[in-house]
Amino acid sequence: MFRVGSLRQTLTLVAAATMLAACGSTNDGGNPAADVGSGSLTGAGSTFDAPLFQRAFFDYNAKYPQVTVNYQSVGSGAGIAQFQANTVDFGATDVPMGSADITKAGGPDALTQVPVTLGVVAIAYNLPNVQKLQLDSSTLAGIFLDHITNWNDPAIAALNSGVSLPNQKITLFHRSDGSGTTYILTDYLSKISDEWKMTTGGPAKSIKWPTGQGASGNQAVAQGVQSTAGAIGYVELAYAVQAHMPIAFMKNAAGSYVQASVTGATAAAGTNPNVSATNFSITNSNCAQCYPIAGYSWVILRTSYSDASKGKAVVNLFKWLVTDGQSDGQSLQYAPLPSAVQQLAITNLKTIKAGGTAVLS
């Protein structure tokens, strides 16, 4: 069985391989002469993105050894803070920065936000004898509001006819750090539960949780659920799949029970074709295949990089990631960007200058 610890080790090995490749030969398809810029890039933020970024940055370095990337998966909130402090070349977040954060980062003319992937927040659980668990919006909200505290609660039992639910306390795990994954979940809960919105203040990267145990990062939440009988929590789908964690079927707005999947995220994205940094929500979308807890993830880039080589490297890296690099996400449970969102990404990248000159025409 592939456990969360194994996933962490895999990502570490991939990151190490990336750095080694940068120091090695340029054979095996390397293209050091390509005019994509050069330099050692640093980024920080979303743990939601980490599996995709580790693979994609490794593959990009194999193509262009003159560009290396050191990415720290510290959570969306920390990534935004490091970008604002000007200690990284890019930040990554699962919810675009709002006006207050943009002001702290130098104002709207100083940065651009680029969608890079479409992912899914899975509801993972630890009930060894329950192979298929069905939940709807009211039961999920009830668990997170601490109204439903036992697995054999009548509300859960009514949704799972014929399933032997244990008389066992529910242990909830949630993020303790500022998290875009939390934003996607709380955006959903705020749409389906007025009580949730009133109690917690609506969607946010950080909230005061009514119940549960906090853990920092998707990996830690996944580990908490996996190691605690009777646990439930929310994690980016790649972590759940690679650790072989059971995930709940959620009843969507159309009345269908759907499991977290790339197909479900793509269907949800299709309900909002006019995505932007101020119009990005696709939670609780109403279609038969729509998975209700899905969202985009974004990178935050400066619109001007004084170091021409590094600025060119940043733009070309993310141009590749939102186009050819999307294929790296498929086996990791990320959905490719819809064509309109891909075009938005390219348009935003065209606003960036390196050494005073636009990188993309």
Phi, psi at 316, each rounded to 5°: -70, -35
What's the predicted TM-score (pTM) here? 0.89
Which domain does 13 fall in, by range? Answer: 4-119+295-358
- In tens, the pLDDT along 177-225 reads 999 999 999 999 999 999 999 999 999 999 999 999 999 999 999 999 9
CATH number of the domain enclosing 27: 3.40.190.10
**In which residue are the tokens 């090695």 written?**
24
Average pLDDT over residues 5-23: 42
Domain end call among 243, 275, 294: 294
- Whether residues 59 and 159 share a domain: the answer is no
- Residue-by-residue DSSP string for 102-170: HHHTT-GGGEEEEEEEEEEEEEEE--TT-S--EE-HHHHHHHHTTS--BTT-HHHHHHSTT----S-B-
- Whether residues 81 and 182 share a domain: the answer is no
Name which residue leads in pLDDT, 193 or 1: 193
Average pLDDT over residues 51-65: 97
Domain end call among 243, 278, 294: 294
- In tens, the pLDDT along 247-260 reads 999 999 999 999 99
Residue 27 has pLDDT above 90, yes or no: no
Domain end call among 243, 274, 294: 294
What is the model's pLDDT at position 32? 63
- Whether residues 238 and 109 share a domain: the answer is no
Residue 8 has pLDDT above 50, yes or no: no
What is the model's pLDDT at position 34? 77
Average pLDDT over residues 140-159: 98
What is the model's pLDDT at position 361? 85
Residue 28 has pLDDT above 80, yes or no: no
- Whether residues 333 and 288 share a domain: the answer is no
- Dist CA 140 CA 59 (whole Å): 38
Total count of domains within the chain: 2
- Whether residues 260 and 302 share a domain: the answer is no
What is the model's pLDDT at position 253? 98
- Whether residues 15 and 79 share a domain: the answer is yes
Residue 348 has pLDDT above 60, yes or no: yes
Residue pair 353/315 in contact (Cβ under 8 Å)? The answer is: no
- Whether residues 203 and 312 share a domain: the answer is no
Which 8-state DSSP code applies to residue 26?
S
Helix-, strand-, coil-residue percentages of the chain, each rounded to 5 = 40, 20, 40
- In tens, the pLDDT along 64-110 reads 999 999 999 999 999 999 999 999 999 999 999 999 999 999 999 99
Residue pair 3/37 in contact (Cβ under 8 Å)? The answer is: no
- Whether residues 206 and 279 share a domain: the answer is yes
Residues 6+ apart with CB under 8 A from 252: 258, 284, 285, 286, 287, 288, 290, 291, 292
Name which residue leads in pLDDT, 353 or 33: 353
Residues of the chain with pLDDT > 90, as a percent, come to 89
- Whether residues 264 and 319 share a domain: the answer is no
Arithmetic mean of pLDDT over the chain: 92
- Pairing mode of beta strands 231-236, 111-125: antiparallel
- Whether residues 245 and 171 share a domain: the answer is yes
- Whether residues 146 and 282 share a domain: the answer is yes
- Whether residues 17 and 151 share a domain: the answer is no
- Dist CA 301 CA 234 (whole Å): 28
Residue 6 has pLDDT above 90, yes or no: no
Residue pair 43/91 in contact (Cβ under 8 Å)? The answer is: yes
Average pLDDT over residues 129-153: 98
What is the model's pLDDT at position 30? 56
